[in-house]
Amino acid sequence: MGTRIQNLANNFTTAGIVKAAAINDASVSGITSIPAGVGGALTLLSTQTASASASIEFTSGIDSTYDSYVFKFINIHPQTDRDEFQFNLSTDGGSNYNVVKTTTFFYAFHAEDDSFTTLTYASGNDLAQSSSDQLIGHNIDNDNDSNLSGNLTLFNPSSTTYVKHFIGVSNYMYDANTSNPYIAGYGNTTSAVNAIRFQFASGNIDDGIIKMYGVS
């Protein structure tokens, strides 16, 4: 027993911190199952790449297989300068994108030259029982190096009992500033949501990738 305690003690520094050498692949080789409550693995279901695209739509794969879905935006570049990236939901497979939504929107903002910073609730960018598209990011530059990246999580879209909550965060460049919006809200419908559309308000999605994951 004394030898085992000594071996265990050798894996810690005098400050009680685990040494790097004590962490290796063998340390988890004996795990045969994951305890209940440990999860959140992402399964890639679909990838769409824009090329002067009017919109990107996911009209299949959103079903009762997963309780939540994550959409990752990677380098979304607008054709039109100062454009607005937005989304809407559908209950009829994408024939109509008109789910009524109530949402909230705030953002952090910081200039490259450190001349201005803010953390602001932007009431003009949220919705109150509206079927309009929900803003994800606004005033996005179309400079060659400008783009938006982020993610949106849609919870339990196939429920026919509850409204459909979503939470999103993104970051993009705006006139040599970084803008970091946060959105949240719900689609006020008890019908199953089975499609989602992403687009800019006035121009095409010039370039970019959106990936859809199921969360297990």
Q: Report pTM.
A: 0.82
Cα within 13 Å of Cα(99), Cβ side: 30
- CA gap 32, 191 in Å, rounded: 39
Residue 4 lies in a domain: no
User: Poorest-confidence range of 35-49, 117-131, 186-200?
Assistant: 35-49
Please state, rounded to an integer, the average pLDDT across all residues of the chain: 89
In a domain, 20, yes or no: no
pLDDT at 40: 75
| Per-state percent for the chain, helix, strand, coil, to nearest 5 | 10, 50, 45
52-67: buried (b, 16+ CB within 10 Å) or exposed (e) per residue? Answer: ebebbbbeeebeeebe
**Using one digit for the tens of pLDDT, what is the confidence trace for 17-71?**
556 555 555 544 444 444 445 557 999 999 999 999 999 999 999 999 999 999 9
Enclosing domain of residue 122: 42-215
CATH number at residue 109: 2.60.120
98 is a domain residue: yes
In a domain, 11, yes or no: no
Rounded CA Rg of the chain: 22
pLDDT at 206: 98
Structural domain count, the chain: 1
Average pLDDT over every residue of 60-84 = 97
Q: Is residue 96 in some structural domain? A: yes
Q: How far apart are the first and last CA of the chain?
A: 41
Asked if residue 169 belongs to a domain, the reply is yes
The string of DSSP letters for 114-159 reads SS-EEEEE-GGGS-SSB-SPEEEEEEE--STT--EEEEEEEE-TT-
148 has a pLDDT exceeding 60: yes
Q: What is the pLDDT of residue 19?
A: 60
Sheet of strand 83-90, all strands in order from the earlier edge strand to the far edge? 56-58, 195-200, 83-90, 134-140
